[in-house]
Amino acid sequence: MLKKLFFHSSVPTTATLLNKQYIANSRSLLGNRGVLQKYNSRNYSTITTTTTNTTITSNNNTRMDTPFQGHDQVQIELMKEECIVVDNDDKPIRAGSKKECHLMTNINQGLLHRAFSIFLFNSEGKLLLQQRALEKITFPGYWTNTVCSHPLWMESELIEKDAYGVRHAAQRKLLHELGVPHEQAPLDDFTFMTKIHYLSESKEDPQWGEHEIDHILVIQKDVTVNPEPNEVMDYKYVDKEELTQMFKDADENKIKVTPWFKLIALNHLDPWWNNLKNLKPLVEPTDKIHRY
């Protein structure tokens, strides 16, 4: 059972040792807490970032730069979307293109943006997972939580009250990636749980990565799933035992699991899963951010 990964005891059982091993492996992907601490005193509004698609050569001819070389054109177009650049306390600063926010050259200067992760459970209590399409620029082919994406710099997705901005974004991306109609996932059925701050490089193409404050949303609904092939190559519902096996398979390099999904699952998911009918007591203040 998944709870074996969250077992707490003063005696170092096999389960707790496994848990420590998984967390250590996750943090090796994410970097350690010290990597994030160096950004705490940053003035985010003055970071100089890479945003253009051209560079100038010595003979004054222009050429296209190569971050997108070999990548899918649809996904390249989506990199023009305007994410929400935030400070270390998740306060919005300005818009920043998806490309700007995900280039490691900018992340290494401290550029930070807002994200969200959806954990959708059906009426049987099984968790909906997706496998990211191979066309994705970051973490292609990885298994992950139901949807993980970004609210955009637009009025409806900048609403702070009761996390309605990220709820609107969650609705939009459930439809885009998994074909879930808005009426099957009403805004008020999402429960905001907490926020995490993490950093991770994309191993397949290390010029790209993630540096996010991720808002976690939980919802329990039976929905119709019709995936967009350019976003999702596979999906499935899993119970706790099946998810535990997936993490073991990932640890043995049989499958790939996104680092943020593993991090959230190992540190936060179990009590939520055990209390899907009564999540409210587990909701954390919006100004609390878990930093990894």
What pLDDT digit, counting tens, does each position of 11-33 carry? 333 333 334 443 344 444 444 44
Q: How far apart are CA 171 and CA 182, in angstroms?
A: 6
In order of start, what are the domains of the chain with their CATH numbers? 2-43+70-291 (3.90.79.10)
Q: Which residues does residue 85 pair with via DSSP β-bridges, in sequence order?
A: 94, 113
What was the pLDDT predicted at 51?
A: 52
Q: Average pLDDT over the chain, rounded to whole?
A: 84
Looking from the CA of 178 toward its CB, the CA atoms found within 13 Å total: 28
Which positions are annotated as active-site residues?
Answer: 148, 212
176: CB partners within 8 A, 6+ apart:
228, 231
* Claim: this prediction has a pTM higher than 0.85: no
- Neighbour tally for 287: CB within 10 Å: 8
- pLDDT (tens digit, 9 = 90+) per residue, 133-187? 999 989 999 999 999 999 999 999 999 999 999 999 999 999 999 999 999 999 9
The 3 state secondary structure assigned to 8-47 is: CCCCCCHHHHHHHHHHHHHHHHHCCHHHHHCCCCCCHHHC
